[in-house]
């Protein structure tokens, strides 16, 4: 006999939003606004929000600071995932990853393809895990941020989502670090 799963309580996640752009400010950052709005609507906590220029060193410097902060569980970046010379978010983030989530990019492209067709190939949306935290790199348009949040992150960052979600494995993301300490 199959048992019906017991209802789970919502667990808020602490999320930082990073906009990578040479031109946006807090007053013109519609993509960051889109993410912040959805994060708060879902019941999560906004731990920090910053805008950083398209510069590998600047992005990594902020990320290293955020990865040490105990009040951040997740970083969602927007911008810098395209193909131009100024698009360096992926190059800045990927070396920080201890594990890359290839499936995130695949899922993002599946969702994006339904909206913009083959133009989705111009995005290098990616994700990974570093220092026990999730990092998600979304393109810089509000539409791409909506697609990434609504289609993937909203459910995966909700402990109630079954059969599995990112929240339930958060405590085990840095098991390798804990093992080295023993």
Rounded mean pLDDT, 87-93: 98
Q: Which of the pair, 40 or 182, is modelled with greater confidence?
A: 40
> What percent of the chain has a predicted confidence (pLDDT) above 70?
93
CATH tag, 14-181: 3.40.980.10
Report residue 84 CA to chain centroid gap. 21
- Computed over every residue of the chain, the mean pLDDT equals 94
pLDDT score at 3: 60
Put residue 42 in one of left, alpha, beta given phi > 0 → left and psi -120 to 50 → alpha.
alpha
- Using the predicted structure, report yes or no on whether residue 178 has a pLDDT greater than 70: no
| 75 pLDDT higher than 70 | yes
pTM: 0.94
CA distance 131 to 137: 16
Per residue in 109-155, pLDDT (tens digit) is: 999 999 999 999 999 999 999 999 999 999 999 999 999 999 999 99
How large is the average pLDDT for residues 151-177? 93
Q: How far apart are CA 29 and CA 140, in angstroms?
A: 9
Pairing label, strands 133-138, 126-130? antiparallel
**Residue 159 is encoded by which pair of tokens?**
């402990």
Question: How far, in whole angstroms, is CA 141 from its chain's centroid?
Answer: 14
| pLDDT score for 11 | 97
Q: 């111009």: which residue's tokens? A: 122
User: What is the SS3 string spanning 91-142?
Assistant: HHHHHHCCEECHHHHHHHHHHHHHHHHHHHHHCCCEEEEECCEEEEEECCCH
Residue range 5-31, pLDDT digits in tens:
678 899 999 999 999 999 999 999 999
- The Cα 164–Cα 167 span in angstroms is 9
């Amino acid at each position: 006999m199959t048992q019906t799963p017991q209802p789970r309580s919502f667990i808020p996640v602490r999320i930082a939003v990073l906009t990578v752009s040479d031109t946006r400010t807090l007053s013109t950052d519609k993509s960051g606004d889109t993410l912040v709005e959805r994060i708060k609507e879902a019941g999560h906590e906004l731990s920090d929000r910053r805008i950083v220029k398209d510069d590998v060193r600047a992005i990594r410097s902020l990320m290293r600071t955020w990865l040490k902060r105990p009040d951040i569980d997740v970083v969602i970046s927007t911008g810098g995932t395209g193909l131009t010379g100024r698009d360096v978010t992926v190059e800045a983030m990927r070396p920080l990853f201890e594990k890359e989530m290839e499936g995130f990019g695949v899922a993002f492209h599946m969702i994006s393809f339904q909206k913009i067709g083959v133009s989705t190939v111009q995005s290098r949306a990616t994700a990974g895990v570093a220092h026990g935290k999730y990092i998600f790199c979304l393109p810089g348009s509000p539409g791409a941020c909506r697609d990434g949040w609504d289609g993937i992150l909203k459910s995966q960052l909700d402990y109630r989502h079954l059969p599995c979600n990112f929240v339930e494995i958060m405590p085990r993301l840095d098991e390798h670090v804990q093992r080295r300490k023993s």
